[in-house]
Amino acid sequence: MNINTLRINGERLVARLKRLGTIGALDGGGVSRLALTTEEKGGRDHLVSEMKALGLAVAIDPLGNIFGTRKGRTAGPAIMLGSHIDTVATGGLYDGALGVLAGLEVIATLNDAGVETENPLVIAAFTNEEGARFQPDMLGSLVFAKGMALEDALEIVSIDGKRLGDELAAIGYAGSDAGPVEIGAYFELHIEQGPVLEDEAIEIGVVRGVQGISWTEITVSGRSTHAGTTPIRLRRDAGLAAARIAAGVGDLVREIGGDMVGTVGAINLTPNLVNVVAEKAVMTVDLRHPDAAVLKAAHERLVAVINAAAEREDVTLSTRMLADFPPTDFAPALVDSVEDAAKALGLSTQRMFSGAGHDAQIIAGLAPAAMIFVPSVNGISHNTTEFTAPADLANGANVLLRVALSRAMPINGEIA
C-alpha cells in the first residue's frame, strides 16, 4: 500500500475534540480543566479510555504524565506525539487537546489501515502544561525531561493553596510507571494561538522554536489605612505601587519594542475593599522574547521599575521566579520534515517562532523535537471563543501523520 495516500479522518478528529470539550465545559462555551482538578481528572479518565479503545498500552508516571504506546516491531526509540489536556480557566477546545487527540487520530488511521511500524509510537499528555494553577508551566514535561526533581514538583503549592502531590494523589494520577526511555523524535501539533497564519492565509506553521519566557511573582507590602482620612504623603499603598509596576511593564515593553511582550495577568489586593488602602498586593509579570539577551535586559529593567515603585510608595516587596525558560530552537532535520510533509500534501507553509510556551520546548532538551501550527481564528486563544476550522485541524493532523510515519518507519508500505 502506498502510505502517501493515507489520510486521517477529519470528522472523527472533530468528534474527539468535541467529546473531550464536554469535560469541564463552561456555560456559554469554552472549557475549564485546570491542572489536577476534578474536571481535569475527568479529561484524564476519558483520554485513558480512548487510548485503551485504540489498543494502546497506557502508562502513568509519578507526575501524572500519561503515555499511550502502540508497539512497533522493535522496542524503540519511540516516536512521540504529544501535548496537554489541562487548560486555563477560560480555555477553548483546541489548546493542547488538538496535539493529543490528533495523535490518537494518527493511531486510529494506522490501525484502520493495518500499518505496522518499526518504531513504537507514543501519544503523550503532559501534566500542568498551562501553569495557570501550579507554576511553572510545562511542569510535567520538565520533570519528565529531568529539568526539575519530582520531589520538588510535588511540593509546589497552587494559587488556591493546594500541594501538588496531594492534588495528584486525590485524582488518582500519582502513577508509578516509567515513561518512554528512549525518544527518537517528538512532534507536537498545536493551534498557533496568534494571528500570523490567518493574517497571511498560510495553512501550516513550520515552527523553528519557542521564545524565552520569564514569570515573576511580586509581593508588595504596605499598610492598610482609611481611604478618606489618610493624606497621600502618609500612605504606604500596596495597590498604588502595584499599579506603578504594571504601568512600568507596559512602558518597558514599548521602549524595547520589536518582539518584546510583557503581561501583568494577575493582581490580588488585600483587603481589596473600596475604602481601604491596600496593605498587600501579589502580582505576576510574564515577559517573553526570542532573544535571551533582550529578555535578560527586560528583566533587569523590570527590577528597576519594581524598586522605583517601592521607593515612591514607601512599601517593601519580595519577588519569586515562577518560570524561567530560555528561547529554544527545534531540531532542524525535524523542522525540515514538517515543511516537507506539508508541501507534499500541497499545503502552504511559513516558518515561524512560537509566542506561546509548549511542552516541545522542554522535550527538545531530551530528544529532537519540532512543532506544527494550524491557524487560530482571529488569533484568539486562552479565551472561550478559541476556534480553528475543521479543514485546518485535518491539515495539521495529516502533517502529523506523515512526519510520524517518516520517523516510525512503516513496515508494510513505503513512504516515497
Question: Which of these segments, 127-135, 152-160, 330-338, 361-369, binds ligand HGY (CB under 6 A)?
Answer: 127-135
C-alpha cell at 311: 521607593
Number of residues that bind ligand HGY (CB under 6 A): 6
Longest dimension (CA), the chain: 83
Query: Which stretches of the chain bind Mn ion, using CB under 5 A?
Result: 95-96
Give the shortest CB-34-to-ligand HGY separation in angstroms: 12
**Nearer residue to ligand HGY within complex by CB, 124 or 269:** 124
- Cα–Cα distances (Å) from 288 to 89, 146, 215, 278, 292, in that order, read 21, 23, 9, 29, 9
- Cα–Cα distances (Å) from 405 to 191, 252, 398, 412, in that order, read 21, 46, 11, 11
Under rule CB under 6 A, residue 285 binds ligand HGY: no
Give the shortest CB-144-to-ligand HGY separation in angstroms: 16
Under rule CB under 6 A, residue 237 binds ligand HGY: no
Please tell me the distance from the alpha carbon of residue 93 to that of residue 211, in angstroms, as a whole number.
24
Give the shortest CB-130-to-Mn ion separation in angstroms: 5
**Nearer residue to ligand HGY within complex by CB, 131 or 368:** 131
- Cα–Cα distances (Å) from 331 to 138, 229, 335, in that order, read 19, 62, 6
- Cα–Cα distances (Å) from 170 to 39, 129, 174, 355, 375, in that order, read 12, 19, 9, 33, 37
Give the shortest CB-160-to-ligand HGY separation in angstroms: 18
86, 130, 188, 386: residue in contact with ligand HGY (rule CB under 6 A): 130
Could you say which of ligand HGY, Mn ion, none residue 357 binds, taking C-beta under 5 to 8 angstroms by partner kind? ligand HGY
**Nearer residue to Mn ion within complex by CB, 119 or 354:** 354
CA angle 160, 164, 167 (to 5 degrees): 85
User: Checking DSSP bridges between strand 369-374 and strand 183-191, what pairing results, if any?
Assistant: parallel
Could you say which of Mn ion, ligand HGY, none residue 137 binds, taking C-beta under 5 to 8 angstroms by partner kind? ligand HGY
Give the shortest CB-204-to-ligand HGY separation in angstroms: 20
Could you say which of ligand HGY, Mn ion, none residue 96 binds, taking C-beta under 5 to 8 angstroms by partner kind? Mn ion
Give the shortest CB-196-to-ligand HGY separation in angstroms: 15
Give the shortest CB-130-to-ligand HGY separation in angstroms: 5
61, 105, 129, 237: residue in contact with ligand HGY (rule CB under 6 A): 129
**Nearer residue to ligand HGY within complex by CB, 116 or 329:** 329
Site string for ligand HGY, 354-373 (x = CB under 6 A): --xx----------------
Question: Which of these segments, 11-19, 130-138, 146-154, 389-397, binds ligand HGY (CB under 6 A)?
Answer: 130-138
Under rule CB under 6 A, residue 188 binds ligand HGY: no
Torsions phi, psi for 413 (to 5 deg): 120, 145
- Cα–Cα distances (Å) from 328 to 33, 35, 202, 393, in that order, read 27, 24, 23, 25
**Nearer residue to ligand HGY within complex by CB, 39 or 130:** 130
C-alpha cell at 407: 520517523
**Nearer residue to Mn ion within complex by CB, 61 or 192:** 192
**Nearer residue to ligand HGY within complex by CB, 134 or 339:** 134
Question: Which of these segments, 10-18, 128-136, 200-208, 394-402, binds ligand HGY (CB under 6 A)?
Answer: 128-136
Cβ(408)–Cβ(106) below 8 Å: no
Site residues for ligand HGY, 307-346, by CB under 6 A, read: none
Closest CA to 349 of 333, 362, 361, 336: 336
Cβ(216)–Cβ(302) below 8 Å: yes
Under rule CB under 6 A, residue 180 binds ligand HGY: no
Please tell me the distance from the alpha carbon of residue 355 to that of residue 288, in angstroms, as a whole number.
8
- Cα–Cα distances (Å) from 193 to 26, 205, 333, 381, 387, in that order, read 20, 11, 24, 5, 9
- Give the binding site for ligand HGY (CB under 6 A): 129-131, 137, 356-357
